[in-house]
Structure 1
Amino acid sequence: MVLEGVEHPRYRTALLELAGEGNQEAEPPLSSRDNEHLLALAILGARQNGGNVTLEGTMHNLYFMRDQQVCTDQGMVMGRMATPERQREGTLTRIALSALGAGPVGLIRRGHLEGGDFIPAGTFALLGYGSRTDREGADALLWSGSGFEEVAVVREPVHPLINGADPMVSMHLDTYCNLAGDGVVVGNQALLDRAEVQVLASDGGRYRPTGWEGSLSEYLKEKDFSIVPVTTLEQLCYAPNFLCVRDRECIAIDTGLVAQAVIKRLQRRATSRPGIYGRLLAEVEEDYRKLRQDAEFFPFKKEVYAEGLEMVPIDLHNATGGYGGAHCMTCPIRRG
């Protein structure tokens, strides 16, 4: 879709600028090269220096297509990525979305906003902030591209078993909480209980505090959502990061296939920093023992079946190593 988009001179210029970072002296000049070549240069971060080519700023996270933009009830809003290695991705996704006829209705110019921190739920939405999306970026979204009657602004929680903070454990809202259908949430209870919520309501085009404050679990219960709980291990395996394709029908990670890799990664961290990760590792290893004994790795859980959820499990053993699942790897282009 990027190649279709750059048929428009405006977007070819954008791609040319992206590919040209560090390549101003390239021979032959980039302006004479075809679009496929420019796209490869941009994604690889290729830099030409005489006869040598180096790769700097490769877009190795581009397969996580959720984060560069947010699909609100008003349309696409282009975000601002928090980490330097991902900041260039938005230019490419904007070109592709424009080629699909889903060009952005808004652009975040201050703070940081990433799509994994936004979950719509009909007339209201959940909007997370913390280590990736910050409060300034969240507020910018409310000003530029949201028409929801109510928005629950959710502060990223710190896991109670970590002595300190590790933003990779719950870096986005959709890594510990996700909607599986009307009235059903899948989430890790410890994090839902510690995620602080402030409720805002739309008032004449502006969002104002309603005065309601509490935990995310309390808020969801007030909205009459039932909660399908996942263990700490399943949460670290990105169980909540499923893709809901229609009401109560989802594509989910088979956490049993990735659990051992997650445990080994945590064991390495706990070996070098036992004071930070020791309690978390002990919990995860006990989760594994129980889940294996009961044969209840998500999504094969009695709570899932009790809610009538259809979870199609897939093996994302390798892809989850980049810290994300099916939800992170997809980009919606319009709300129904």
Structure 2
Amino acid sequence: MSNQSPKHTDDLPKVQATAEWDPLQAVRMHLPGTETFVGIMDPEPNLFLDDFSLVEAQREHLSLSRDLEEALPVDDPIHYLHDDLAKGGGMSALLSSRVDFDLSELEEEVRVNRRDELWSRLHELNPHTQIQAVLGNAKVIRHRADAEEDVPGSNPDRWDTTSVQLEQPLTNMYFQRDQQFVTQKGVVLCSMKEDTRKPEVDIARASWKALDGNQFDVDIVADLSQVHEHDVTEHVPERDDIQSTEVLVEGGDFYPAGEFSLLGVSAKVPEGAAYPEHDIAEDDTEYVHRTTYAAGHRLLMDDAFGAPEVGLVRAPFEAAQENKDDDNGEVEMDIMHLDTWFNFVDEDLAVAHKELVDNTTLDVYRRTDDGEKPYVLDRSDANFGDYLREKGFEIVDVYDYVDPDHPDVDTALKAITNFLTLGPRKILPVRFTEDDDCVMHQFVTGLQEDYDVTVVPDGEGRKIINLRAGYGAIHCMTTPLRRAPK
């Protein structure tokens, strides 16, 4: 762990990922709990697509966990967030900082004892119950009963009532992709754009510290939640069109790809273009979706990637605007992260919204050996599709494998690239029903028949409806701890 005392981890596997198609050995997930219930009740401010059933969402999540346990050729590949925190000693500090008891209605002489009893009980609870209290930012309030006299032989506490207040709970925590990502060198802690998600990084940091030296060797190579600004033009004068100095980055924008890595960053706005509905004026040259160009460049200067080459992929805002469906007003959400419109299947195969890939650009940074800067700009404004083809990738267009007239086509296109790659040509995609006329049926069968891709489970994918309503699919719900090349 960075900035920690020396540790003996030579015999522990290192948390790292060299390529998205390398065999997955361990993955972290979080089973949604009561913290998610608040987002279900009030979806929009919590970034959810719609309301859904928490009970059914938990069932779907457990099924997804079983799929991974059966598909991955290692023992105990699933690391639940609450288990990592509890086993590594990280839960207690979170309980102390994010859970409180209000006993102000009790008699002063009993408050200390009652508080001690409640804290003791809290620390003895099941770890998943504890993490729900932590993520809920819970305050337990004891209300003293208005009884004129005690009943002989009874416990007066039995007459009291209780309220639980959840203060801005971390409703999105089951989307484990965005608080961090894992590179060839180690863990990058992110700096999230939306206020409702920013505290998630504190939980993630605690989980990595708890895991380090316990089951894995963990190096946190960058913590951008502690960095607020970075001026790209000071380092790359030719990129004077990068206006934002704010450091924002989320894990759904990152892919390791062996000899190179990709990070989705803010969109390039054409000169003179204006989109009032997105607060884009004519003099704006950059539009921030989730990850800023400034954050991507800061990670380059921090040498956090490890790859010989890194591409900062501009979000395809202009292309998405031109191709948007008038009935779908949330284009910004549809291209929220790179994994919402692009993914790798193997060292020579990618799946994407090809229209977006071929109509956006990336800046390619190359590693240097002179020691002055880890990376320098090698190519600017290169076509993303051409770049991938130069690297030997065939790009499968998702529109070739969905029926445009299917009633669920829009739902499918929001999740179709958000599968989890388990190994070379082996993926776990989302499915919406178990019927042969499911909108995803053509996609999963087409990949198997045309590209020899193994689809888990059972050649069909995992049926997920409720979890998906939180505005994410299987890639969003997982973060790899380790991918090991064969």
**Quick check: TM above 0.5?**
yes
- Preserved CA contact (<8 Å) 1:234 1:297: no
The residue number in structure 2 matching 1:106 is: 222
The residue number in structure 2 matching 1:63 is: 174
Give the C-alpha shift of residue 7 in structure 1: 6.8
- Whether 2:450 is the aligned partner of 1:306: answer yes
Give, as a single letter, the amino acid of the residue that structure 2 aligns with 1:297: Q
Aligned with 1:120: secondary structure? strand
Q: Deviations over 1:110-145 (max 9, x none)?
A: 311111000010010110013111122222322332
- Preserved CA contact (<8 Å) 1:77 1:105: yes
C-alpha change, 1:298 and 1:119, in structure 2 (3 Å) is same
Q: Aligned partners of 2:412 and 2:362: how far apart in 1?
A: 20
Give matches, 1:67-82, under 5 Å: 67-82=178-193
The residue number in structure 1 matching 2:391 is: 223
In the alignment, structure 1 segments of 5+ residues that lack a partner are: 260-290
- Preserved CA contact (<8 Å) 2:103 2:141: no
Give matches, 1:52-201, under 5 Å: 52-101=163-212, 102=218, 104-108=220-224, 109-110=227-228, 111-130=247-266, 131-144=289-302, 145-158=304-317, 159=320, 160-162=322-324, 166-201=331-366
The residue number in structure 1 matching 2:415 is: 238
- Preserved CA contact (<8 Å) 1:199 1:209: yes
The residue number in structure 2 matching 1:332 is: 480
- Whether 2:471 is the aligned partner of 1:323: answer yes
Q: Aligned partners of 2:362 and 2:412: how far apart in 1?
A: 20
C-alpha change, 1:94 and 1:295, in structure 2 (3 Å) is closer
C-alpha change, 1:226 and 1:25, in structure 2 (3 Å) is farther
Q: Aligned partners of 2:140 and 2:397: how far apart in 1?
A: 51
Give, as a single letter, the amino acid of the residue that structure 2 aligns with 1:298: F
Give, as a single letter, the amino acid of the residue that structure 1 aligns with 2:251: G
Q: Deviations over 1:205-238 (max 9, x none)?
A: 5221112432221111111100111027476341
Q: Which moved more, 1:49-58 or 1:221-230?
A: 49-58
Q: Aligned partners of 2:187 and 2:437: how far apart in 1?
A: 42
Q: Which moved more, 1:121-130 or 1:163-172?
A: 163-172
Q: Aligned partners of 1:251 and 1:133: how far apart in 2?
A: 26
- Preserved CA contact (<8 Å) 2:365 2:375: yes
Q: Which moved more, 1:191-200 or 1:95-104?
A: 95-104
Q: Aligned partners of 1:48 and 1:306: how far apart in 2?
A: 56
- Preserved CA contact (<8 Å) 1:19 1:38: no
In the alignment, structure 2 segments of 5+ residues that lack a partner are: 1-80, 106-110, 144-162, 213-217, 229-246, 267-288, 400-408
Name the TM-score, length of structure 1 as normaliser.
Answer: 0.78
C-alpha change, 1:186 and 1:46, in structure 2 (3 Å) is same
Aligned with 1:137: secondary structure? helix
- Preserved CA contact (<8 Å) 2:102 2:142: no
Give the C-alpha shift of residue 294 in structure 1: 10
- Preserved CA contact (<8 Å) 2:334 2:414: no
Name the TM-score, length of structure 2 as normaliser.
Answer: 0.56
Give the C-alpha shift of residue 178 in structure 1: 0.3
Higher relative CO (CA 8 A, sep ≥ 6), structure 1 or 2? 2
C-alpha change, 1:318 and 1:218, in structure 2 (3 Å) is same
- Preserved CA contact (<8 Å) 2:90 2:210: no
The residue number in structure 1 matching 2:137 is: 45
Aligned with 1:186: secondary structure? strand
Give the C-alpha shift of residue 146 in structure 1: 1.5
Q: Deviations over 1:146-166 (max 9, x none)?
A: 211001101111212237873
C-alpha change, 1:230 and 1:295, in structure 2 (3 Å) is closer
Q: Deviations over 1:2-35 (max 9, x none)?
A: 4653577776335422335x97989627994433
Q: Deviations over 1:161-194 (max 9, x none)?
A: 2378731111010110000011100001121122
User: Which structure shows the bigger proportion of residues in helix conformation?
Assistant: 1
Give, as a single letter, the amino acid of the residue that structure 2 aligns with 1:70: F
Identity of aligned residues (%): 27
The residue number in structure 1 matching 2:381 is: 213
RMSD: 3.2
Give the C-alpha shift of residue 202 in structure 1: 1.1
